[in-house]
Amino acid sequence: MLGRAWTALVPDHVFDFWAERVSPTWSRRRPLARVVARETAADDTVTLVLAPNRHVRRPAPGQHLMVGAEVDGRLVRRSYSPSPLPGGRFAITVKAVPGGRLSDHLVRHARVGDVLAIGEPFGTLALPGDETPVLLLAGGSGITPLIALLRDQAARGSTRPITLAYWVRTPGEACFVDELGALAVGHPSLRVHIATTRATDPRFAQGRLDADTLAMLTGEGSAPHVIACGGAGFVAHARALCEPRAASFQAEAFSPPDALPGETGDAEVRLARSGTTLRVPRNQPLLAALEAAGLRPAHGCRMGICNTCACGKSAGITRDVLTGARDPEPATALRLCVNAAAGDLVLDL
Ligand code: FES
């Protein structure tokens, strides 16, 4: 009792300083995870198995969480899609992307024993509750939330018909190839189609997602639920092709588009709280545009999922860069990372 009373008087940073000398992930409040295994998943891609401390909330399959590490003396965070593992552990698969400070650090320098900062799980990607067939479309790193959903279905012994189609540029970029093959063998209701877009390999098909491929994947059966994950261009293409024919369509783009086709010129954005007024390009997501103007709005995933960047809009028209939809109504939680100015705006920033 006395010991507990004394430790309550100790500031968090002092408690953590001594606690981490006993165990690197001991902390009074901070969600942390230790790297307990790493293996190569594909070219420039590693899978890290993480053992979290008790402050980390367990992610559901298909969710994301922010992962942080110190790079050149600064904490850098990015969102990754974890795959839950037995024993409370989870795995993240990280591809080194050009200019990606954290991804480069994790792929080339993270070692067993390193401790990473972990954020709250977020995201609502999930298989619908009925037994309608599901078509999963993965472009590149978009495979990571989808493999988590597939592993979960397999662990539950689900017999729902699922087709996974997964595109990579080159054979060396394909992750989970052996595991996907084994899952398909063990679960006859699962069909796996892996294709390359820039090089051939006898193990894989070749070509991009198009109407013929979609017809081959869906066959004559009822319209499937479609879930697409990948870069912004891949998701936009999948949406245009599949949404009209799907029972439902969910998508997550891990990168917002750099520029919006069909939008030109600038818009005036007034930041009501700071009293600043600036001009931003109408063809760029507001988060990127404000950053280019030297501002630092709060953000997390940069893909419209975590809501960290959400702020109020009291006037003006915005355009959702993922769907193209225009919204003239005031909003209490406008996600800056996936909305652009379609006219002059007033934001609660
Ligand atoms: S940064 Fe996550 S929703 Fe915008």
Sorted by where each begins, the domain ranges of the chain are 31-118, 134-253, 266-347
Which of 80, 252, 290, 302 is the best mutation target for the ligand 1 pocket, counting ligand atoms within 8 Å of the beta carbon and taking the most? Answer: 302
Q: How far is the CA of 188 from the centre of ligand 1 (A)?
A: 38
**CA–CA distance, 204 with 57 (Å, rounded to integer):** 37
Looking at the CA of residue 337, tell me the nearest atom of ligand 1. 4
242: CB partners within 8 A, 6+ apart? 135, 137, 214, 226, 228, 249
Which of 125, 255, 309, 334 is the best mutation target for the ligand 1 pocket, counting ligand atoms within 8 Å of the beta carbon and taking the most? Answer: 309
Looking at the CA of residue 287, tell me the nearest atom of ligand 1. 4
Q: What is the pLDDT of residue 6?
A: 62
Q: Which CATH architecture has domain 134-253?
A: 3-Layer(aba) Sandwich (3.40)
Q: Which of 33, 41, 102 is nearest to 301 (CA)?
A: 102
Q: Which of 132, 323, 121, 180 is nearest to 335 (CA)?
A: 323
Which of 78, 124, 335 is the best mutation target for the ligand 1 pocket, counting ligand atoms within 8 Å of the beta carbon and taking the most? Answer: 335
Q: What is the pLDDT of residue 101?
A: 94
Identity of the amino acid at 60 = A
CATH code for the domain defined by 266-347: 3.10.20.30
Task: Tell me which residues of the chain have a pLDDT lower than 70.
Answer: 1-7, 256-259
Total residues belonging to the chain: 349
State which CATH number among 2.60.120.430, 3.40.50.300, 3.40.630.30, 2.40.30.10 fits the domain covering 31-118. Answer: 2.40.30.10
Q: What is the pLDDT of residue 4?
A: 63
Looking at the CA of residue 301, tell me the nearest atom of ligand 1. 2
Give the binding-site residues of ligand 1, using a 6 Å CB cut-off: 299-302, 304-309, 335, 337
Q: How far is the CA of 81 from the centre of ligand 1 (A)?
A: 15
**CA–CA distance, 152 with 90 (Å, rounded to integer):** 13
**CA–CA distance, 28 with 95 (Å, rounded to integer):** 32
Looking at the CA of residue 336, tell me the nearest atom of ligand 1. 4
